[in-house]
């Protein structure tokens, strides 16, 4: 049997300018992890988000790693991290020999529960410890409760590293995600809302952090004619070629946000009809004053309220037709690799993981793609 062409969960979507910027990099021979596109991309990230300083880096993961290094996180330190996220939020904590403490989600945005976060801080304090940093995440582009998280964090004087990898274009009260943390990180991996194929950035209003990040990201070379080093460096800078792609992508970011939000609306209209037939499929809520880029549209299918249908039934039905969908992030506190890490949980993220599914959400989905997607859903939700 020949399968129909694959419909991806979220695939790259180039605009009109990316190729031109790549050609420019070649024509000027800036084919290196340094060059005019890198500088301009950083400036343009600042103007888009409103942050004062940005360092273009090789990945979102390397951005989190550098942020932890800049905060002096080291051996045996504790770092609070949202449990429901991609493993890249937590891995760099372990690179530093530190210990992640996983915090469960609240139900309003599916992100770090500020109450459980404070419980964790109080618990650590009672043992004479204090977390060195807090890493909240904006899951699928939905802003976390940053006002409460930051209020608590500053009360205990703990710096916040905002993982905005999935949330470029999102915001709270018209303030852009990526501008709330003491440092914030972005990702431009292939599946994100805009991509440089691979890449990331570290953002901060604190100039010192960003200058130090650029220094560490380029092998920590001291100011000398020969290669002189007085600290350990990293090879974490973004290529000038890839920064060219990023510049093109940034120009159409708002269009991409619009397209993703239109996908979301289409799914909402579809499931309004389904729910009219006795089902109760739910969406990731968008709390008041929040604006989500709706990077991935994600739904909850509680079998008890959906005639026994589980998210797995829908996922496998999609799979049969070569359509990619995916369960929500499996929480870090139940991942084999983080077994034994401390956690503050109340079952929310496990419930979300068991019942949640990310639907195909690319900004380049066609009308034909949507017809195929809806045909499969029609078969499942009869």
Ligand X SMILES: *Cc1c(COP(=O)(O)O)cnc(C)c1O
The DSSP H or E segment spanning 45 is helix 36-49
Question: Which residue of 40, 104, 162, 166 would you call a contact of ligand X, by CB under 6 A?
Answer: 166
163 binds ligand X (CB under 6 A): yes
The least CB distance from residue 85 to ligand X, in Å, is 5
Q: Which residue is nearest to ligand X (CB)?
A: 60
Q: How many CB atoms lie within 10 A of CB 364?
A: 13
Tokens of 38: 């890198």
Q: Give the separation between CA 110 and CA 202, rounded to whole angstroms.
A: 24
Tokens of 140: 């699928």
The least CB distance from residue 202 to ligand X, in Å, is 12
109 binds ligand X (CB under 6 A): no
Instruction: Give SS3 for 358.
Output: strand
The least CB distance from residue 269 to ligand X, in Å, is 27
Stretch that binds ligand X, among 2-10, 59-67, 209-217, 366-374 (CB under 6 A): 59-67
89 binds ligand X (CB under 6 A): yes
35 binds ligand X (CB under 6 A): no
Burial tier of 222 (Cβ tally within 10 Å: 0-12, 13-18, 19+): exposed
Bridge-partner residues for 185, per DSSP?
Answer: 163, 202
**Residues making up the chain, counted from first to last:** 382
Size of the site for ligand X (CB under 6 A): 14
Q: Which of 215, 173, 218, 164 is nearest to 192 (CA)?
A: 164
The least CB distance from residue 379 to ligand X, in Å, is 31
The least CB distance from residue 33 to ligand X, in Å, is 16
Cβ proximity to ligand X: between 85 and 263 the closer is 85
60 binds ligand X (CB under 6 A): yes
Question: Which residue of 189, 196, 239, 293 would you call a contact of ligand X, by CB under 6 A?
Answer: 189
Stretch that binds ligand X, among 83-91, 98-106, 110-118, 141-149 (CB under 6 A): 83-91
187 binds ligand X (CB under 6 A): yes
Report phi then psi at 235, rounded to 5: -105, 80
The least CB distance from residue 166 to ligand X, in Å, is 5
List strand residue ranges (DSSP E) for 62-206, in order.
78-82, 99-103, 133-135, 161-163, 171-172, 175-176, 183-187, 200-204
The secondary structure of the chain in percent helix, strand, coil, rounded to multiples of 5, reads: 40, 15, 45
Cβ proximity to ligand X: between 85 and 239 the closer is 85
200 binds ligand X (CB under 6 A): yes
85 binds ligand X (CB under 6 A): yes
137 binds ligand X (CB under 6 A): yes
The least CB distance from residue 140 to ligand X, in Å, is 9
59 binds ligand X (CB under 6 A): yes
Q: Which of 164, 165, 207, 183 is nearest to 52 (CA)?
A: 207
Stretch that binds ligand X, among 23-31, 72-80, 81-89, 206-214 (CB under 6 A): 81-89
162 binds ligand X (CB under 6 A): no
Q: Give the separation between CA 83 and CA 117, rounded to whole angstroms.
A: 11
Report phi then psi at 288, rounded to 5: -55, 145
Cβ proximity to ligand X: between 98 and 377 the closer is 98
182 binds ligand X (CB under 6 A): no
Q: Give the separation between CA 321 and CA 41, rounded to whole angstroms.
A: 39
Chain contacts with ligand X (rule: CB under 6 A): 59-61, 85-86, 88-89, 137, 163, 165-166, 187, 189, 200
């Amino acid at each position: 049997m020949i399968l129909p062409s694959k419909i991806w969960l979220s695939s790259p979507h180039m605009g009109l300018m990316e190729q031109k910027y790549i050609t420019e990099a070649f024509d000027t021979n800036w084919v290196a992890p340094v060059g005019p596109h890198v500088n301009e991309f950083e400036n343009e990230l600042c103007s888009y988000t409103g942050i004062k300083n940005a360092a273009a880096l090789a990945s979102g993961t390397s951005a989190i790693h550098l942020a932890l290094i800049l905060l002096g996180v080291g051996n045996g330190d504790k770092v609070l991290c949202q449990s429901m996220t991609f493993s890249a939020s937590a891995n760099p904590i372990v690179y530093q020999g530190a210990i992640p403490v996983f915090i469960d989600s609240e139900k309003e945005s599916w992100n770090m529960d500020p109450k459980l976060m404070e419980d964790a801080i109080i618990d650590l304090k009672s043992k004479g410890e204090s977390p060195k940093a807090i890493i909240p995440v904006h899951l699928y582009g939905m802003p976390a409760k940053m006002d409460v998280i930051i209020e608590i964090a500053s009360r205990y004087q703990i710096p916040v590293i905002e993982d905005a990898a999935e949330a470029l274009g999102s915001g709270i009260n018209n303030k852009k995600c990526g501008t709330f943390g003491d440092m914030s990180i972005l990702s431009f991996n292939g599946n994100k809302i805009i991509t440089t194929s691979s890449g990331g950035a570290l953002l901060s209003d604190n100039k010192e952090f960003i200058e130090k990040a650029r220094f560490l990201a380029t092998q920590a070379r001291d100011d000398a004619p020969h290669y002189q080093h007085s600290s350990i460096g990293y090879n974490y800078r973004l290529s000038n070629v890839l920064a060219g792609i990023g510049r093109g992508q940034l120009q159409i970011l708002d269009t991409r946000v619009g397209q993703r939000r239109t996908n979301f609306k289409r799914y909402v209209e579809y499931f309004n009809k389904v729910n009219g037939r006795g089902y109760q499929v739910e969406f990731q809520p968008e709390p008041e004053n929040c604006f989500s880029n709706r990077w991935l549209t994600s739904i909850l299918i509680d079998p008890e309220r959906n005639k026994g249908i589980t998210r797995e039934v829908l996922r496998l039905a999609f799979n049969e037709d070569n359509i990619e969908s995916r369960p929500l992030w499996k929480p870090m506190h139940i991942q084999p690799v983080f077994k034994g890490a401390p956690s503050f949980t109340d079952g929310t993220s496990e419930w979300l993981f068991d019942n949640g599914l990310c639907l195909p959400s690319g900004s380049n989905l066609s009308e034909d793609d949507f017809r195929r997607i809806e045909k499969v859903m029609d078969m499942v939700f009869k």
